[in-house]
Amino acid sequence: MSEIEKTVPAKPAGKKAAGKEGVGGTVRVFVEALIIALVVRTLLFQPFEIPSGSLIPTLEIGDYLFVSKFSYGYSRYSFPFGIAPFSGRILGSLPTQGDIAVFKGPKDNSTDFIKRVIGLPGDTVQVIEGRLYINDKIVERQPIEPYRTRDFFGNPIDAPQYIETLPNGVQHRVIEIEGDRGGFDNTPKYEVPPGHVFMMGDNRDNSADSRDMNSMGYVPVENLEGKAQVIFFSIDDRSSFWKVWDWPWAIRWNRLFTGIH
């Protein structure tokens, strides 16, 4: 038998190793991407979908927005599932009156809500005949054109709309579906305790907020998750994000990449 005949054909060098490296590299890239996404979501920006109409006309059902996680510092509620190696709040700061903030509901500390900051620690807040009072002073309210929306039964209506100017000069729009005779248009005087904020929706007659002590009440500052910054996507609430075939006529193009005030 010749030397050539006795030689066993060699397997391609490094083929098995290359295969293992290919799988391992894919897994490594996936894990790295997951870690980066987790860090961004926890420390920088988190996407949030508007599920209800409590902030109409500022935010509509079907708006998707980015929330800055660093605006008020970090607590355990800044982390997924409330997992954090510390208690209290680090790098913390109080929100500004008028901010729209995402927070964990104080009744279960797990449900996400989004409302506007109306009262800070030490403030008094009251609503009398539909008018907002902060620290016993009426908040300026200027009527503008009615806002087309839907009532509690889904019927289209033109709701009274106003520009409200908070004591620090922040202006925002509010609507009153029931005029100044809604369920929370006359309230007791609330005194915001230390370490808490008072939250309200801009849709004043259709918002479960701090005016309702049974369902929400005062919100601990520790429960704040971040400040709403920009709408990056918006789709009619009769459609859905995943229904891409509806996008051409369901997307609210005029709301994309607009700042939130």
Reduced to 3 states, what is the DSSP secondary structure of residue 253?
Answer: helix
Q: Tell me whether residue 54 is one of the annotated catalytic residues.
A: yes
Q: Which of 54, 78, 207, 210 is catalytic?
A: 54
Q: 69, 75, 78, 115: which is the annotated catalytic residue?
A: 115
**Residue 115 a catalytic site member:** yes
Q: Which residues contact 246 (CB under 8 A, 6 or more apart)?
A: 235, 236, 239, 240
CB atoms within 10 A of CB 241: 15
Whether the bond into 80 is cis, omega within 30 of 0: no
Name every residue whose Cβ is closer than 8 Å to that of residue 171 and which is 6 or more positions away in sequence: 163, 164, 165, 261
Amino acid present at 62: G
Map tokens 């007659």 to a residue.
Answer: 205
Q: Which of 192, 191, 190, 157 is nearest to 175 (CA)?
A: 157
Catalytic residue numbers, as ranges:
54, 115
